[in-house]
Chains A and B, each alone.
Chain A
């Protein structure tokens, strides 16, 4: 009797092992490792890919937020880069502000794309990281092609996530010097509450430059009320004051 029961248990064991082996894992297999093989192996072997992606994203934020830029010099003229230059560089897409980042030696954050790809290889569904990094590449660093490459990479895992298509289109229009269309598409994209503040900020800025002060005001207000990033909240507050003046009817 005992032997029979044990055999039944073994049959059930084989059945469950077979059944679960047919279940597709949530995350695709990793075929290549990043710079630190041991760290990657740790994340994978403990089933902590999401945590690994989070830590790498925080590292990306630290890398992008490094203060070294403030002390760098513009290589061509040897001029000091001020805080204002850096703030302005976020709006350098249409030649409105000087392209500070591209003019600074080593200040164009060459690792953003590779770091973002690494994050996505750990967690291919970390959409915020993909959109944030693409936003930085396209709108802050003027590297639209890299942003599109990243979004195409992210799209392989989430082919039905329409926001990626919207960002690709918006970057395409902005490269074609069509800010009206870019703003229109970004307007659609920022309806998603998960949109990073950087993208909302760029959209508001485009509207402001196009003279759509009402819409720009609405977006800045959204950033001010909902963003948890103090840098963008401060910026939105300043812009709101400016927008209020612009929206005041002239006597």
Chain B
């Protein structure tokens, strides 16, 4: 456990010191600029536009960070031969993979909350109050990012190419938002096609349940509940990481 903690702490520190903080800064500048622009374009709906713009930017920056970070994490270590140094020490392979996953996901969480803080500050400056629903939306965004991160890690271990891992994870991420449309389409399909597409419904992560911004603002938004969201994230991520560890163990260095 001590080794795992040390590895996670090392990864977390490394990521926070590097490009993540720069991304936070750029985001802060962009959102302040956007707030000025949108206040002129839509004066009566400024808080809504600003919050939606900020939350979308937060999520996208988080998604990009986790996709690039976890798709390349292991491959980069292999290419730079750092992995030999790590694995030659008393570090088990499952500890290495798990630490990579948790370290990067935690650093993205920190980044998401920092961006949320910037957003809340801008909203406060613009005359709004502290909106606690933004905090809830940020938590659900973090859970969504964790699921995507686990997928990216798994695909990077399957494909051995950063680009293909990013593309496949990206496809899963986008399909995850089309659950309502997939349901609609499958209803129209012939029985054979319906059976053939059934496994897809059980593999694609349901990203729509994490869209708390939509759920909180819809008249009949069905919130799955925090226990379901957290349970789903833990189980989905665990399955991906376990399969990833299994594949990594089979590799020879």
Contact = CB atoms under 8 A, between A and B. Distances in A.
Nearest to B57: A51
A164 to B, nearest CB: 12
A157 interface: yes
A45 B45 contact: no
Interface in B198-228: 201-202, 206-211, 213-215, 217-222, 224, 228
Interface of A: 6, 9-10, 12-14, 16-21, 23-31, 44-51, 54, 57-58, 61-62, 123-125, 128, 157-158, 160-161, 196-197, 227-230
B180 A48 contact: no
A23 B53 CA distance: 26
A6 B242 contact: yes
Interface of B: 38, 41-46, 48-49, 52-53, 56, 59-60, 174-175, 177-181, 183-184, 201-202, 206-211, 213-215, 217-222, 224, 228, 231-232, 235-236, 238-239, 242
Contacts of A9: 235, 238-239, 242
A230 B221 CA distance: 34
27 contacts: A6-B242, A9-B242, A12-B235, A19-B224, A21-B179, A21-B183, A24-B222, A25-B222, A26-B211, A26-B214, A26-B220, A26-B222, A29-B184, A30-B181, A31-B184, A44-B178, A45-B175, A45-B178, A46-B60, A47-B177, A57-B42, A58-B38, A61-B41, A125-B219, A128-B45, A227-B44, A228-B46
A16 B231 contact: yes
Contacts of A54: 42, 45, 48-49, 52-53
A228 B175 CA distance: 39
Contacts of A21: 179, 183, 201, 206
Contacts of B239: 9-10, 13
Contacts of B56: 46, 48, 50-51
Given A6-B242, A61-B41, A47 B228 contact: no
Contacts of B211: 26, 47
Given A9-B238, A54-B45, A54-B53, A20 B214 contact: no
Nearest to B60: A46
Contacts of B220: 24, 26
A16 B44 contact: no
B224 A20 contact: yes
B180 A27 contact: yes
Contacts of A49: 214
A50 B46 CA distance: 14
Given A45-B174, A58-B41, 18 more contacts: A12-B235, A17-B201, A20-B232, A21-B183, A21-B206, A23-B228, A25-B180, A26-B208, A26-B221, A27-B218, A47-B177, A54-B45, A54-B52, A57-B42, A57-B49, A123-B217, A157-B219, A228-B43
